Structure 1
Amino acid sequence: MKIIFHLFVHFSLLMFVSCYGDNGYDPLENVLKIQRSRRKTQNHASKEDVTAEYSYSPVYVGPQDGLKDADKITELPGQPAGVEFDQYSGYVTVDPNHGRALFYYLAQSPVNSSTNPLVLWLNGGPGCSSFGNGAMMELGPFRVNADNTTLSQNKYAWNKVANVLFLESPAGVGFSYSNTSSDYQTGDIQTAKDSYTFLVNWLERFPDYKTRDFYLAGESYAGHYVPQLAQLILQNNKITNQTVINLKGIAIGNAYIDDETANTGMFDYFWSHALISDEIHEGIVSNCNFTEVGTITAACDDYQSQATTARSNIYIYDIYAPLCSPSSNSTPSISEFDPCTQNYIYTYLNTPAVQQSLHAKPVQWESCNTLIGLYWKDMPFTVLPVIQDLMASDIRVWIYSGDTDGRVPVTSSRYSINKLQTSVKTPWYPWMYEGEVGGCVVGYQNLTFVTIRGAGHFVPSYQPARGLAFFSSFLEGKLP
């Protein structure tokens, strides 16, 4: 029976896939429904349980000689002329016994690459691609054009100010893989461990970055990935005799960090933005207890279903954006982001010449792997205690939010910060970009909160200029 199940998992990886761009597809909600159902029958992992699981053990370090040169990308198919930075991509083995290897893409800075910091970017899901979504759709140096074969430069790419490393994590996401099918049943703890092992090995492959300032950034379910990995790095830095990672700060965008505030904030956002009626909102407020010990009643489920029906086919990740359709070009997004971008990326990354140029194994690349979330094993109800630990350390902690996202909206982020009970140092004010309000910012004790006006869930996609301005401020450690 176990063998049959593993075969099912292996072959299902080719089937249970989708992308953020699909109308109505919500990878985060899919996995949360499963996790909430499980909570009814079992106690959830406490902070102490998770911390114990993160106790240090020697990390596998494989031979890296010659692999950096082999990973250098000569040129991506359809790449525009005049590219002035180096690119690398390939695999880093994190478990040789299982044959588990994670795929990365590095876009170095065109200027000051030898001194600029290193930033690791993680997309969420869980199960969604940091390369296809993060690099090719959001903050990377290129965009895929509508012809599916050529690229254009993103003049607001984050590698303008940092060397950006995109990691496909965990195994089974994007181009990352394992030769052991049971590895596709994973969770928060193993993902953090594998990401840490990846970093230690990657820094051996790229030793010039060993002493460089290092930052972690990500969005959505990376609200779990980033703080957990940061905590693991800081813990291991104290006791390891291997590479000490020079972590300086984290930035998490539209971040799922607390299940209670994620729910209350989302439905309050729907109501305040005229996506659901007063009656539905009142029904949710009166009948739903989203706390960890709360019980989701039939009445609560019914009102949540009514909310889904009421908001209809609005794209939840950017509530003012048009959907991808044959007539999309005649209805441009207010952010001028092409809603069909995911389709172009899908076709481009499944071109054999592109996969070969990336040194990727020939696979059917997908934006998101639903099966990863379906079999997700551990997910703490909240990572706020982890964030509090990071706030007490010497690193920079920033939370940012695109304010047209309905999935993990700005209200959820504000409610989460309220639960941290930290004091305000710099009161809320509008920050400016090129004479217009770029968003708002609050400086808290050991925490910064920034909004990006007019941006959806994928901030650098919808507001690339404001996104880069925010990110530059984060690296500088100055409020925008």
Structure 2
Amino acid sequence: MPSTWCLRLFLLLVFSANAAFSGTIVKTLPGFDGELPFKLETGYVRVGTSEMFYYFIESEGNPKEDPLLLWYSGGPGCSALNGLIYEIGPLAFNITEYEGGIPSLMYYPYAWTKTASILFVDAPVGTGFSFPLTPEGFATSDTLAAKEIYQFLRKWLMEHPQYLKPQLFVGADSYSGISATLVVQHVLDGNLDTNLTQLNLKGYILGCPEIDGKITANAKIVFTHRIGLISDELYNVILVKNFMLSFTLFFLVNNVIFHLVQATKVTCGGDYFDTTSENPACYENLQLINKCTKDLYKNNILEPKCTWASPESADEPARRLLEENAEGFILSPPRIPEFWCRNFNYALSYIWANDQSVRAALNIREGTVHDWKRCNKSLNYGKDVKSVLDYHRNFTNKGLQALVYNGDHDLIIPNLATQGWIGKLNLTIVNDWRPWLVDGQIAGYTIKYSENGYRLTYATVKARRLKKRITEEVDTHRKSPSVGNVITCLRGLFTIILSRESLHFRNSGN
């Protein structure tokens, strides 16, 4: 073990030997004008040999009665700050007036904290400001992450007993749909232990969640079919020379798939697309589909991809590097309005979270996380759970309440995947498919199910094409509520979905 690591480990152990919990109220933050208009607490909770960092924002409504929502982001490896700033929290960066230095923060009035207290946690360990005390602690997985998050939640609640009474919801997005499902199961199992304090679990909230890898992989191909990203004619030229294929690609934009998808079904396993098939024809068809979609911004195919900023725009590895290293952007304010893409928003988080004054305000322990990343792409993470569908089947017998939402132009976790696994639960429809509105406009569609006291509300969110100038759309596209999703937040959207009535899942009959 390197001597520097030994010294770091020694100092951390000495510093935190008697402090399994450490929380501090934060009243001001660099970049925000004046005191924060809500209660923010940050701190660490010791879980095994790891220190898990959290941001807790108390409900701006009635904290004694409003629910407590545990929330962490997808990836795996995306920081809770991603959820706080870009998804559901009461802060947002002011990207239209950025001129260098520490980005300025604005109060976001449509946050979920209007009707819920939210406990944001950097999970799994190695994410955000959470860190292990031993080198071995960097290795994690679906199952290990779920155990640590559950232990974190239980320990945090023991230190904050006033939040044991309100209803508890477990929430996550994107890939963390896997581990969040396991966390819900851990809470249910823990409540069976009479030696443990009961947690008032009411349900869970999942945004564009990964639930079953095969269902998701299959849905991606079906989605590209339905949305018109692949040509009807593409399959007809599979055996033609490469130059003929490139000519045919000219017509892709105005066509809809059929032949290619049908051919892919035949070569990849009938009605189900086995994307792991070793059939050469299957592999070739999947590669052709990939060529037609690789230059899309897959989180929202209506948004621009940031490839233009790459110095080697024709080089796929360079593009990948650009997406993974948003902090490498040189932000030129005059260019942002004209050539906006979502990574400009993300770049500000790197500048902000790596500033020493910000770290001091958040009470980050010195010498722990030297290079904060919005999403840690180098996380040592083992994906050891392929499906949690059976857990959700089990939940239908536990009287839980669930809210599941998905953007309708998401190519990472398509809405068809979410609707697919929900359909396999064989629930009874109590309110059939119908639109839901914001300011008189259709913002998406929703359907409600019920079975044995279990109730599930599913909602899609209609994506909108971004306007040319960011200054024209700042109010309606400030946040996207899931890493790896397409949900472009309409004004007041989540206040409506997560109003006190819907979060408590009261049956309004509408």
Instruction: Report TM bin, short chain.
Output: 0.7 to 0.9
Q: Give 2:285's aligned residue.
A: 303
Q: Does 1:329 align with 2:337?
A: yes
Maintained 8 Å contact 1:267/1:281: yes
Query: SS of 1:420's equivalent?
Result: coil
CA distance in structure 2 between the partners assigned to 1:269 and 1:400 by the alignment: 17
Q: Give 1:449's aligned residue.
A: 458
1:371 to 378, 396, 400: 378
Q: Give 1:129's aligned residue.
A: 79
Maintained 8 Å contact 1:452/1:466: no
Question: What's the offset of the Cα at 1:113?
Answer: 2.4
Question: What's the offset of the Cα at 1:139?
Answer: 1.0
Q: Give 2:185's aligned residue.
A: 231
1:138 to 81, 87, 92: 87
Cα shift readout 1:226-267 (whole Å, capped 9, x = no counterpart): 211011101111114232111101111111101121011111
Query: SS of 1:204's equivalent?
Result: helix
1:57-206 equivalences under 5 Å are 67-68=22-23, 71-81=24-34, 83-95=36-48, 98=49, 100-131=50-81, 133-146=82-95, 147=98, 148-206=102-160
Question: What's the offset of the Cα at 1:115?
Answer: 2.5
Question: What's the offset of the Cα at 1:158?
Answer: 1.0
Question: What's the offset of the Cα at 1:429?
Answer: 1.1
Q: Computing the radius of gyration over CA atoms, which structure comes out larger, 1 or 2?
A: 2
CA distance in structure 2 between the partners assigned to 1:182 and 1:152 by the alignment: 39
CA distance in structure 2 between the partners assigned to 1:464 and 1:183 by the alignment: 41
CA distance in structure 2 between the partners assigned to 1:306 and 1:475 by the alignment: 43
Q: Give 2:266's aligned residue.
A: 286
CA separation of 1:294/1:420 partners in 2, compared to 1, >3 Å: closer, same or farther? farther
Query: SS of 2:424's equivalent?
Result: helix
Query: SS of 1:432's equivalent?
Result: strand
CA distance in structure 2 between the partners assigned to 1:300 and 1:127 by the alignment: 32
CA distance in structure 1 between the partners assigned to 2:125 and 2:45 by the alignment: 11
Q: Give the AA of the match of 1:440.
A: Y
Q: Give the AA of the match of 2:25.
A: K
Question: What's the offset of the Cα at 1:298?
Answer: 3.4
Query: SS of 2:26's equivalent?
Result: coil
Query: SS of 1:101's equivalent?
Result: strand
Q: Give 1:475's aligned residue.
A: 503
Q: Give 1:18's aligned residue.
A: none
Which segment drifts farther, 425-434 or 256-265? 425-434
CA separation of 1:470/1:64 partners in 2, compared to 1, >3 Å: closer, same or farther? farther
CA distance in structure 1 between the partners assigned to 2:27 and 2:345 by the alignment: 25
Maintained 8 Å contact 1:122/1:219: yes
Q: Give 1:44's aligned residue.
A: none
CA distance in structure 2 between the partners assigned to 1:389 and 1:256 by the alignment: 17
Q: Give 1:23's aligned residue.
A: none
Query: SS of 2:436's equivalent?
Result: strand
Cα shift readout 1:275-317 (whole Å, capped 9, x = no counterpart): 2223343343222246789744333333222222212421100
CA distance in structure 1 between the partners assigned to 2:21 and 2:144 by the alignment: 28
Q: Give 2:417's aligned residue.
A: 412
Q: Give 1:259's aligned residue.
A: 213
Q: Does 1:466 align with 2:493?
A: yes
Q: Give the AA of the match of 1:453.
A: K
TM score, norm. by length of structure 1: 0.79
Question: What's the offset of the Cα at 1:378?
Answer: 4.5
CA distance in structure 1 between the partners assigned to 2:409 and 2:276 by the alignment: 29
CA distance in structure 2 between the partners assigned to 1:114 and 1:443 by the alignment: 28
Between the two proteins, the alignment pairs up a number of residues equal to 411
Maintained 8 Å contact 2:128/2:372: yes
CA distance in structure 2 between the partners assigned to 1:230 and 1:210 by the alignment: 16
Question: What's the offset of the Cα at 1:214?
Answer: 0.8
CA distance in structure 2 between the partners assigned to 1:63 and 1:426 by the alignment: 53
Cα shift readout 1:410-458 (whole Å, capped 9, x = no counterpart): 1111111222222322211112222111211111233221111227754
CA separation of 1:298/1:102 partners in 2, compared to 1, >3 Å: closer, same or farther? farther
Query: SS of 2:192's equivalent?
Result: helix
Q: Give 1:346's aligned residue.
A: 350
Share of identical aligned residues, percent?
27
Query: SS of 1:228's equivalent?
Result: helix
Question: What's the offset of the Cα at 1:77?
Answer: 0.6
CA separation of 1:291/1:243 partners in 2, compared to 1, >3 Å: closer, same or farther? farther
CA distance in structure 2 between the partners assigned to 1:461 and 1:155 by the alignment: 16
Maintained 8 Å contact 1:122/1:130: yes
Question: What's the offset of the Cα at 1:464?
Answer: 5.2
Q: Does 1:424 align with 2:433?
A: no
Question: What's the offset of the Cα at 1:129?
Answer: 1.4
Q: Which runs of 5+ in 1 are unaligned?
A: 11-61
Maintained 8 Å contact 2:22/2:44: no
Maintained 8 Å contact 2:27/2:35: no
Question: What's the offset of the Cα at 1:66?
Answer: 8.4
CA separation of 1:387/1:191 partners in 2, compared to 1, >3 Å: closer, same or farther? same
CA distance in structure 1 between the partners assigned to 2:103 and 2:109 by the alignment: 19
Question: What's the offset of the Cα at 1:331?
Answer: 5.4
Query: SS of 1:346's equivalent?
Result: helix
CA separation of 1:318/1:328 partners in 2, compared to 1, >3 Å: closer, same or farther? farther
Maintained 8 Å contact 1:328/1:339: no
CA distance in structure 1 between the partners assigned to 2:493 and 2:204 by the alignment: 18
Which segment drifts farther, 177-186 or 273-282? 273-282
Maintained 8 Å contact 2:21/2:43: no
Q: Does 1:270 align with 2:224?
A: yes
Q: Which runs of 5+ in 2 are unaligned?
A: 9-16, 236-259, 310-331, 465-479
Question: What's the offset of the Cα at 1:164?
Answer: 0.9
CA distance in structure 2 between the partners assigned to 1:112 and 1:459 by the alignment: 31
Query: SS of 1:72's equivalent?
Result: strand
CA separation of 1:73/1:267 partners in 2, compared to 1, >3 Å: closer, same or farther? same
RMSD (Å), alpha carbons? 2.7
